[in-house]
């Protein structure tokens, strides 16, 4: 029998709040974290808005000197890890630290650091490039930093698969724990690339919304008038452990990470397969791994980016997989509030499911005003719904055709 893996700690840094309680309240209220970009000049940018965390303060969790040597995505990840470990009430002095691992997803690493140091190179020469450039920008530095901070010597690495990165990390952590290769895993994702180059790149792809005059309404997944996604930033990390360990130490259990599925479209570098083939395969695999029937799913946290093609294809995939029952499954997009946190999105969206599961509600897809005939499912429009979640799926679909789905269950003894 597969070992049951449960979630016992939550740590979230997001555009709608830092910490699980603030985050949960914002989700229930349908709060948007999107605003105009003010930390660099957007005059020549077609998109001038993002889910940027203006008041992010890592100092309570990271030493001042360390902050200067750490990229923003890693700062957010370190804060989220600290919050998750605190929340889990683990007594690390009593744990075998060689049996605690860290697997975290990120799509682009320290892009902002790269931009700043390239500018130093061009303006002042190679001797002015920081000796911390390489360790600050590499994607794997965050799990390494967490291990160094806490002394965790178990499996430690990053997963990089664009917007599927955090779900891949969670899937790997699940497998590591089931295999008995660790007792505890810290997992999820982090991303912070709301930088001139990052925004310009997505603008050039014509992937971003241009609703610059209405920032809080720009991310509108499944709405007929959606015109692109809104970038966000943040980190969502959880503490995972076997059910036996959690029960033995009397831990509070938020839910069970029950299954994982992954696939690739093998179709296009950025566009999803128009028939939803890869998304269907990922959802099917997660259901099989979790040993949940299609009838057992009562909520789906959608990838739901607010792009024309993604929302249509994801909707189609759900309808093909679930048939007529697709119309009875509530679906919502956390990205309608946070924006798209890219490689970190799935970690935050897992936490969205867990706090909703605990709170007895389903958070809304905000900004849903005009129905799209091709997106005709129940997207829980605009207002949260009081409803229990027992079994949920969370989809993440990334550039390169990467598709990932995790299955989450309410904990039942």
Known catalytic residues are 163, 303, 340
3-state SS of the chain is CCCCEEEEEEEEEECCEECHHHHHHHHHHCCCCCEECCCCCCCCCCCCEEECCCCCCCCCCCCHHHHHCCCHHHHHHHHHHHHHHHHHCCCHHHCCHHHEEEEEECCCCCHHHHHHHHHHHHHHCHHHCCCCHHHHHCCCHHHHHHHHHHCCCCCEEEECECECHHHHHHHHHHHHHHCCCCCEEEEEEEECCCCHHHHHHHHHCCCECCCCCCHHHCCCCCECCCCCECEECEEEEEEEEEHHHHHHCCCCCCEEEEEEEEEECCCCCCCCCCCCHHHHHHHHHHHHHHCCCHHHCCEEECCCCCCHHHHHHHHHHHHHHHHHHHHHCCEECCHHHHCECHHHHHHHHHHHHHHHHHHCEECCECCCCCEECCECCCCCECCCEECCCCEEEEEEEECCCEEEEEEEECCCC
Token match 């902050």: residue? 67
Residues found in the chain: 413
């Amino acid at each position: 029998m597969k070992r049951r893996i449960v979630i016992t700690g939550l740590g979230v840094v997001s555009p709608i709040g830092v910490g699980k309680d603030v985050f949960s309240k914002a989700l229930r209220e349908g709060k948007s974290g999107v605003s105009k970009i003010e930390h660099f000049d957007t005059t020549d940018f077609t998109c001038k808005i993002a889910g940027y965390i203006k008041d992010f303060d890592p100092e309570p969790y990271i030493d001042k000197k360390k902050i200067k040597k750490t990229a923003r995505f890693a700062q957010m990840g370190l804060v989220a890890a600290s919050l998750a470990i605190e929340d889990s009430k683990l007594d690390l002095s009593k744990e075998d630290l060689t049996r605690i691992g860290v697997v975290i997803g990120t799509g682009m690493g320290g892009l902002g650091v790269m931009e700043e140091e390239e500018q130093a190179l061009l303006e002042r020469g190679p001797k002015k490039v920081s000796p911390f450039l390489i360790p600050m920008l590499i994607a794997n530095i965050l799990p390494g930093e967490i291990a160094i901070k806490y002394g965790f010597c178990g499996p430690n690495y990053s997963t990089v698969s664009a917007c599927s990165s955090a779900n891949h990390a969670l899937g790997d952590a699940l497998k590591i724990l089931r295999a008995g290769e660790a007792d505890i895993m810290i997992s999820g994702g982090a991303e912070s690339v709301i930088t001139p180059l990052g925004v310009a790149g997505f603008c050039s792809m014509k992937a971003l919304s241009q609703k610059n005059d209405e920032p809080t309404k720009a991310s509108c997944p499944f709405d007929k008038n959606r015109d692109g996604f809104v970038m966000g930033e943040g980190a969502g990390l959880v503490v995972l452990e076997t059910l036996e360990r959690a029960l033995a130490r009397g831990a509070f259990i938020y839910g069970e990470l029950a299954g994982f599925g992954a696939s690739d479209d093998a179709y296009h570098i950025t566009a999803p397969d128009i028939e939803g083939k890869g998304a269907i395969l990922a959802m099917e695999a997660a259901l099989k791994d979790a040993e949940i029937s299609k009838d057992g799913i009562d909520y789906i946290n959608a990838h739901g980016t607010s792009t024309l093609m993604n929302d249509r294809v994801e909707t189609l995939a759900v309808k093909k997989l679930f048939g007529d029952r697709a119309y009875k499954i509530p679906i919502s997009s956390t990205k309608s509030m946070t924006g798209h946190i890219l490689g970190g999105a799935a970690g935050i969206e897992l936490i969205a499911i867990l706090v909703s599961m605990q709170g007895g509600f389903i958070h809304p897809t905000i900004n849903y005003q005009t129905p799209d005939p091709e997106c005709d499912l129940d997207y829980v429009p605009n207002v949260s719904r009081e409803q229990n979640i027992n079994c949920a799926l969370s989809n993440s679909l990334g550039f390169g055709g990467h598709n990932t789905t995790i299955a989450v269950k309410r904990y039942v003894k």
